[in-house]
Amino acid sequence: MEPDSQKIEQYRIRLRSKVSYHLGKFCPDIEDVVQETLTRFLCALRQEKILNPEKTGAFLSGICNNVIQEYRRRLWRESKADAQWSGSKSPSTSESEMLELRDAVAAALAQMGERDCQVLRAFYLQEKEKEEICQSASLTDGQFRVTLFRAKDRFRKIYRQQLKQAASAGH
């Protein structure tokens, strides 16, 4: 059930309006977000992943929401990296503090499951693309997002517990 070009153009117009609303009408990447949304929609359609064809609009809107969120996360990550590497004078971390931080991260990762460590290391430390991680860990896109979310939460809890223990030992 492939939609005709007129139907796709209608989707494109509606998506452009939605993306403009959420990202601002002066965002330079509106067309890219719309195109990515339509590409994912057509792939899902060809793979027969749409369970309720009568709710195609809602399905398309959900895909669009995901693409918008991914776009925002990418911008946030890039702006954070730019701020980190900008020439601004910021207090630098001493070598001993960096070693302590590395040890704390390694200790927290050691307390976690193998898959969680693999995903966190690949995504944050090795800065691999999501698709590459999914392929190497045999994860679907949805499984990756859930695994990453849960792994970050576990890491955060373990790391905070270590900080509490270190603070109480130092007093």
Closest C-alpha among 66, 81, 10 to residue 36 = 66
In this prediction, residues 31-36 reach a mean pLDDT of 94
Domain boundary among 84, 117, 140: 84
- Would residue 46 count as lying in a domain? yes
| CA distance linking residue 67 with residue 65, whole number of Å | 6
Structural tokens at position 103: 């040890």
In this prediction, residues 110-136 reach a mean pLDDT of 88
Q: What is the mean pLDDT of the chain?
A: 85
| CA distance linking residue 76 with residue 78, whole number of Å | 5
Report how many domains make up the chain.
2
Closest C-alpha among 84, 64, 53, 77 to residue 23 = 64
How many other C-beta atoms are found inside a 10 Å radius of the C-beta of residue 70? 14
Computed on alpha carbons and rounded to an integer, the radius of gyration of the chain in Å comes to 21
- Would residue 48 count as lying in a domain? yes
In this prediction, residues 39-59 reach a mean pLDDT of 90
pLDDT confidence of residue 89: 47
In this prediction, residues 126-137 reach a mean pLDDT of 88
pLDDT confidence of residue 128: 86
Any idea what DSSP says for residue 53? Answer: G
Query: Do 132 and 73 fall within a single domain?
Result: no
- Would residue 90 count as lying in a domain? no
Domain boundary among 84, 114, 139: 84
In this prediction, residues 9-15 reach a mean pLDDT of 94
Closest C-alpha among 43, 45, 38, 52 to residue 9 = 38
Check whether 170 has a pLDDT greater than 80. Answer: no
Structural tokens at position 93: 């971390």
Domain of residue 78 covers 5-84
